[in-house]
Structure 1
């Protein structure tokens, strides 16, 4: 299993959002949901229109089988409102172009993320990058590792810091200043 990284540069995140907003509405919504909720890709792909019409996304996580309730941020709410307009409530949000009302597969979501990585010359990018990017910016904004740990259902703060790349950032900073 490859270890993927969060996208740490807010300008690159903004550029990716702008690019997808202009080129592919479905992939843009997938990206926004991941960046604004921290949900795993498997949980994003199972979402239907009816799941995002209220104030929160309420879902049972596939991996943990735990119920999760996530507030829909203002940015996401605005994008979803436009995206789901005139779509039936049972339609999958991240719908495949093949077949009737099926979500894209995890491997297709990975291809989307790899395409983004190629377009923006990013390394170590995969589907989990969205969740990790959410965590990275949440931590940078609030510095509340305990809350982030609970959001991710992690067992320890150390696991969460490693997961979002903060541990690596700290090592990199120290090594840059290191002299012998």
Structure 2
């Protein structure tokens, strides 16, 4: 399994937000919720409209059953409210437009493969490599760390890491640090 990377360049992040905004509000909000929450894609895809009505979203992570609460970023609040205005409370926020082939079910969340395709198409447009659904979570962490390296302890706690090197490697900083050190050789 290949190791995916965070999106490091803020200009690319802004470009991708614009790219999604002009194509699909669902995909735009999926991208933004991913880079502003640090949730795993499996948890993002299960979000329901009723969870987005307050200032924070509370949930229990599927993978490790930890309770999480995170603020809805103010920059997407208005778009989120407009997007969900005509939806039912129990509708999935990132609903598939298709009827499931085998079960014939409607109103199900997009699946992980669709989420990957959405991100992969945008990554191709921006000439990014090693981007996958986990890149959203890593982008969130990378941005938090770059904004303030003192956030490392917070990130270690969020990811359940006991060693700072594990967290730095997870968000792609060990490679960045190695590259920088090599380039600084005389």
* Map 1:15-164 → 2, pairs under 5 A: 15-99=15-99, 100-143=106-149, 144-164=151-171
Deviation, 1:7, is 0.6
Is the partner of 2:108 in helix, strand or coil? coil
Checking the alignment, whether the CA contact within 8 Å between 2:49 and 2:87 is kept in structure 1 is yes
Distance, in Å, in 1 between the alignment partners of 2:15 and 2:130 is 18
Distance, in Å, in 2 between the alignment partners of 1:138 and 1:116 is 23
Distance, in Å, in 2 between the alignment partners of 1:168 and 1:30 is 28
Q: CA RMSD in A?
A: 1.1
Give the structure-1-normalised TM-score.
0.95
Give the structure-2-normalised TM-score.
0.92
Deviation, 1:151, is 2.3
What stretches of structure 2 of length at least 5 have no aligned partner? 100-105
- How many residues of Structure 1 are paired with residues of Structure 2 in the alignment? 179
Is the partner of 2:22 in helix, strand or coil? helix
Distance, in Å, in 1 between the alignment partners of 2:137 and 2:79 is 19
